[in-house]
Amino acid sequence: MPDCRLLWCHGSLSQPWGTKSLALADVAGEFDLTMEGPDFSDLADPDERVERLVSILAEDDRPAILAGSSMGGYVAAAAALRARIPALFLLSPAFYLPGYAVHVFPALPGRVTVVHGWNDDVVPPDNAIRFARTHKATLHVLDDGHRLEASTETLCILFARFLAGATADFEERA
Protein backbone atom coordinates (compact mmCIF):
# COMPACT_ATOMS: atom_id res chain seq x y z
CA MET A 1 0.00 0.00 0.00
CA PRO A 2 1.33 3.42 -0.87
CA ASP A 3 2.29 5.86 1.85
CA CYS A 4 -0.49 8.38 1.42
CA ARG A 5 -3.42 9.89 3.26
CA LEU A 6 -7.12 9.79 2.41
CA LEU A 7 -9.30 12.66 3.59
CA TRP A 8 -13.08 13.08 3.38
CA CYS A 9 -14.53 16.59 3.02
CA HIS A 10 -18.16 16.69 4.09
CA GLY A 11 -20.86 18.93 2.69
CA SER A 12 -22.16 22.26 3.88
CA LEU A 13 -24.81 21.19 6.39
CA SER A 14 -23.52 17.72 7.18
CA GLN A 15 -21.07 16.23 9.65
CA PRO A 16 -17.88 14.35 8.78
CA TRP A 17 -19.32 10.91 9.42
CA GLY A 18 -22.63 10.08 7.79
CA THR A 19 -23.97 7.13 5.82
CA LYS A 20 -21.94 7.86 2.66
CA SER A 21 -18.65 8.64 4.36
CA LEU A 22 -18.85 5.61 6.65
CA ALA A 23 -19.58 3.34 3.68
CA LEU A 24 -16.66 4.84 1.72
CA ALA A 25 -14.38 4.53 4.76
CA ASP A 26 -15.19 0.80 4.83
CA VAL A 27 -14.19 0.53 1.17
CA ALA A 28 -10.97 2.43 1.91
CA GLY A 29 -10.18 -0.11 4.63
CA GLU A 30 -10.15 -2.81 1.95
CA PHE A 31 -7.18 -0.92 0.45
CA ASP A 32 -5.48 -0.57 3.85
CA LEU A 33 -6.33 3.12 3.90
CA THR A 34 -7.81 4.93 6.87
CA MET A 35 -10.07 7.76 5.82
CA GLU A 36 -9.69 10.90 7.89
CA GLY A 37 -12.75 13.12 8.29
CA PRO A 38 -11.87 16.65 9.35
CA ASP A 39 -14.81 18.59 10.78
CA PHE A 40 -15.60 21.79 8.89
CA SER A 41 -19.08 22.28 10.35
CA ASP A 42 -18.04 25.44 12.23
CA LEU A 43 -17.21 27.16 8.92
CA ALA A 44 -20.04 28.21 6.60
CA ASP A 45 -17.75 29.81 4.02
CA PRO A 46 -16.44 27.29 1.46
CA ASP A 47 -13.16 29.13 0.98
CA GLU A 48 -12.47 29.23 4.72
CA ARG A 49 -12.89 25.45 4.57
CA VAL A 50 -10.35 25.34 1.75
CA GLU A 51 -7.87 27.24 3.93
CA ARG A 52 -8.41 24.83 6.82
CA LEU A 53 -7.93 21.81 4.55
CA VAL A 54 -4.74 23.27 3.08
CA SER A 55 -3.45 23.75 6.65
CA ILE A 56 -4.35 20.17 7.57
CA LEU A 57 -2.58 18.89 4.46
CA ALA A 58 0.53 20.94 5.28
CA GLU A 59 0.86 19.12 8.64
CA ASP A 60 1.90 15.91 6.85
CA ASP A 61 4.15 15.80 3.79
CA ARG A 62 2.63 12.63 2.35
CA PRO A 63 0.45 12.99 -0.74
CA ALA A 64 -3.27 12.91 0.02
CA ILE A 65 -6.17 11.50 -1.92
CA LEU A 66 -9.19 13.72 -1.36
CA ALA A 67 -12.84 12.77 -1.48
CA GLY A 68 -15.70 15.15 -0.89
CA SER A 69 -19.40 15.73 -1.24
CA SER A 70 -21.16 18.90 -2.40
CA MET A 71 -19.34 21.86 -0.80
CA GLY A 72 -16.75 19.30 0.30
CA GLY A 73 -16.17 18.37 -3.33
CA TYR A 74 -15.46 22.01 -4.12
CA VAL A 75 -13.19 22.26 -1.06
CA ALA A 76 -11.22 19.19 -2.16
CA ALA A 77 -10.77 20.44 -5.73
CA ALA A 78 -9.81 23.97 -4.64
CA ALA A 79 -7.31 22.61 -2.09
CA ALA A 80 -5.83 20.33 -4.78
CA LEU A 81 -4.61 23.46 -6.54
CA ARG A 82 -2.36 24.20 -3.55
CA ALA A 83 -1.26 20.80 -2.22
CA ARG A 84 0.20 17.50 -3.40
CA ILE A 85 -2.99 15.68 -4.35
CA PRO A 86 -2.70 12.74 -6.74
CA ALA A 87 -6.41 11.93 -7.00
CA LEU A 88 -9.88 13.37 -6.34
CA PHE A 89 -13.23 11.58 -5.83
CA LEU A 90 -16.05 14.14 -5.91
CA LEU A 91 -19.73 13.54 -5.17
CA SER A 92 -22.25 16.16 -6.32
CA PRO A 93 -19.49 18.79 -6.21
CA ALA A 94 -20.61 22.37 -5.71
CA PHE A 95 -18.91 23.89 -8.75
CA TYR A 96 -19.67 27.19 -10.47
CA LEU A 97 -21.91 28.50 -7.70
CA PRO A 98 -22.15 32.12 -6.52
CA GLY A 99 -20.11 32.88 -3.42
CA TYR A 100 -17.37 30.37 -4.22
CA ALA A 101 -13.98 31.94 -5.04
CA VAL A 102 -12.60 29.31 -7.43
CA HIS A 103 -14.31 28.67 -10.77
CA VAL A 104 -11.23 27.70 -12.77
CA PHE A 105 -9.29 24.63 -11.69
CA PRO A 106 -5.98 24.49 -13.58
CA ALA A 107 -3.51 21.67 -12.99
CA LEU A 108 -5.76 19.21 -11.20
CA PRO A 109 -4.49 15.67 -10.66
CA GLY A 110 -4.66 13.24 -13.55
CA ARG A 111 -7.13 11.01 -11.71
CA VAL A 112 -10.42 12.78 -11.01
CA THR A 113 -13.76 11.02 -10.67
CA VAL A 114 -17.06 12.88 -10.38
CA VAL A 115 -20.38 11.29 -9.39
CA HIS A 116 -23.55 13.35 -9.66
CA GLY A 117 -27.30 12.83 -9.60
CA TRP A 118 -29.54 13.62 -12.55
CA ASN A 119 -32.18 14.80 -10.08
CA ASP A 120 -29.89 17.08 -8.07
CA ASP A 121 -31.91 20.13 -7.00
CA VAL A 122 -28.96 21.85 -5.24
CA VAL A 123 -26.15 21.71 -7.80
CA PRO A 124 -27.29 21.28 -11.40
CA PRO A 125 -25.89 18.16 -13.10
CA ASP A 126 -24.77 20.43 -15.95
CA ASN A 127 -22.16 21.89 -13.57
CA ALA A 128 -20.61 18.44 -13.07
CA ILE A 129 -20.75 17.75 -16.79
CA ARG A 130 -19.02 21.08 -17.51
CA PHE A 131 -16.31 20.37 -14.93
CA ALA A 132 -15.76 16.80 -16.15
CA ARG A 133 -15.59 17.88 -19.79
CA THR A 134 -13.15 20.70 -19.00
CA HIS A 135 -10.85 18.49 -16.92
CA LYS A 136 -11.28 15.18 -18.75
CA ALA A 137 -12.55 13.70 -15.49
CA THR A 138 -14.33 10.39 -15.23
CA LEU A 139 -18.03 11.18 -14.81
CA HIS A 140 -20.87 9.02 -13.53
CA VAL A 141 -24.36 10.53 -13.51
CA LEU A 142 -26.87 8.47 -11.55
CA ASP A 143 -30.65 8.43 -11.25
CA ASP A 144 -30.53 10.07 -7.83
CA GLY A 145 -30.63 13.42 -6.08
CA HIS A 146 -28.04 15.69 -4.50
CA ARG A 147 -27.30 13.47 -1.50
CA LEU A 148 -27.01 10.33 -3.66
CA GLU A 149 -28.89 8.53 -0.87
CA ALA A 150 -30.27 5.80 -3.12
CA SER A 151 -26.85 5.03 -4.59
CA THR A 152 -24.66 4.01 -1.64
CA GLU A 153 -23.89 0.59 -3.11
CA THR A 154 -22.99 2.09 -6.49
CA LEU A 155 -20.84 4.75 -4.79
CA CYS A 156 -18.92 2.03 -2.98
CA ILE A 157 -18.29 0.16 -6.23
CA LEU A 158 -17.15 3.34 -7.98
CA PHE A 159 -14.94 4.31 -5.02
CA ALA A 160 -13.32 0.86 -5.00
CA ARG A 161 -12.52 1.22 -8.73
CA PHE A 162 -11.18 4.72 -8.11
CA LEU A 163 -8.96 3.60 -5.22
CA ALA A 164 -7.70 0.61 -7.21
CA GLY A 165 -6.56 2.97 -9.94
CA ALA A 166 -5.13 5.55 -7.54
CA THR A 167 -3.15 2.97 -5.59
CA ALA A 168 -1.89 1.41 -8.84
CA ASP A 169 -0.66 4.88 -9.85
CA PHE A 170 1.30 5.05 -6.60
CA GLU A 171 2.85 1.64 -7.16
CA GLU A 172 3.93 2.61 -10.69
CA ARG A 173 5.72 5.67 -9.32
CA ALA A 174 7.45 3.70 -6.57
Cβ–Cβ < 8 Å for 146, 124: no
Helix (H, G, I), strand (E, B) or coil at 87: strand
CA dihedral in degrees (66, 45, 148, 2; nearest 10)?
10
**Domains in the chain, CATH or no CATH each:** 5-173 (3.40.50.1820)
pLDDT, one tens digit for every residue, the chain (174 residues): 568 999 999 999 899 999 999 999 999 999 999 999 999 999 999 999 999 999 999 999 999 999 999 999 999 999 999 999 999 999 999 999 999 999 999 989 999 999 999 999 999 999 999 999 999 999 999 999 999 999 999 999 999 999 999 988 877 765
Would you call 28 exposed, middle or buried from its count of C-beta atoms within 10 A (0-12, 13-18, 19+)? buried
